[in-house]
Structure 1
């Protein structure tokens, strides 16, 4: 690990000013960034520790639509066990508790969770080709070991997947990311925050270089009673998802009035199934309906040598999650 400068400012403006200089990275819990530095994947010249900023609150905000604002420095464990989150956004609590070990949840922050980078082994090994780490070097996973990799939204430049469980739930819950930068404050719809690889897989998200995440804002909804997060992984202890599903249903008299579906482990970003959500509206909440939806969800999927099993695992996971959410499992 190379030497770096370390600063700990106490104001948002100081952080923004620091970010305008090349080679500067933010650190909070450090549960991903420190690993990347140890592996030589990232070598910042300067670390800006933001832990002194007042960004840990979790609060309900009244307005035309009542929302819950979660500070960027709120710990994953704090959010997962917060009474208001468990009552009004149980899907988020479930996803966070599925996401990592207790030790990591006690260090990792909400903002850092959004910014974490892929766990693709070709990204982590600096001796191997990776367009995300070294643009133009090639994607080693295309013809290599790609068991964990994407089946939706990939490109010939990158087939890595996003590792976050929390982000999958936030995608399903139509969250918004509040950021501040040189140009002031702006709000990014969660669906637009993370990027697909396209020709520039080195760009994980749509943040400007001088922008700081301050809050994640989630609208309250009618999904608390019928939501479920299902994570399929190689072992029950801490492991990243092979496939995961965040599903939320609004059911009245046995029929689905509204639905939200996002999946993890299948794309470069949390993957929303908008057409599937539309198809569920007005349908009975039944196993038959969900199995039909599982087939619809796989349109456009493309597998590789090692991950063809995901073509079956993905719809099976989705159907199982929908059954749990509807309480017919």
Structure 2
């Protein structure tokens, strides 16, 4: 489908809007100060938690050679980057009376939000396949999930995220904007931006929903099918000591639900506004990247042992340096 078919203007000079006004989460100064300190604490947990997982997996040879933890370190890296797309800007805006973002800054947020978000969805699908092979075909697990395949799968996730994101941006960048310029959110995303275009956006909305909404739904259904097969296999082998695998799958399912349910809610519907949209947006841009490291570290004995080993190593190195 060409851009002309959608009725988009090729001349970007037709856009009079050079910046957007973000309405944010609240207009109350006292509430904004409270939210600033709350989200600052959450952001610190996100950064430190995800950095810890990446460092521990990289430092522990046993974990790094394990396909599951190899993918987990990439998931934490994506969450770390994803939190940097909207949260720092939101924190700064809490201390400002006028919350604005330039047109190019808005496009950058759209690009990186969808690039990292789609890459994470693809990676979670790969992680489900990894668990399926590990549990349903354990004798050939390391042969199937070899280093070469792992690298190709991760590279494919990043490429898929880039293709998805650049498609979104190429449509948005050619929309004509002539006012109003208020976005009812704390960051730029496709649904809110498209609503401000000075044209009939019906076909654009259908294309955007097909791109983001169906992608989220298909990945979610594939994941549910994969874990259904895994749970059926675990049910027949539970007496053989498969409780650890069941716990791992429970963690993965929790993360999958926290990410995909909000995305399906936001993108798989016409671009109409609901009162809970901001809450859902906060959930998958801020809360989920914070919960991921907590879920994987608090419920995972291998991660806790590796963290303790790294801590003892750092203490020993510090004592040796002082001595």
Q: Relative contact order: is structure 1 or structure 2 higher (C-alpha 8 Å, sep ≥ 6)?
A: 2
**TM-score of the superposition, structure 2-length normalised?**
0.28
Structure having the higher helix fraction is: 2
Larger C-alpha radius of gyration, 1 or 2?
Answer: 2
Structure having the higher strand fraction is: 1
**TM-score of the superposition, structure 1-length normalised?**
0.28
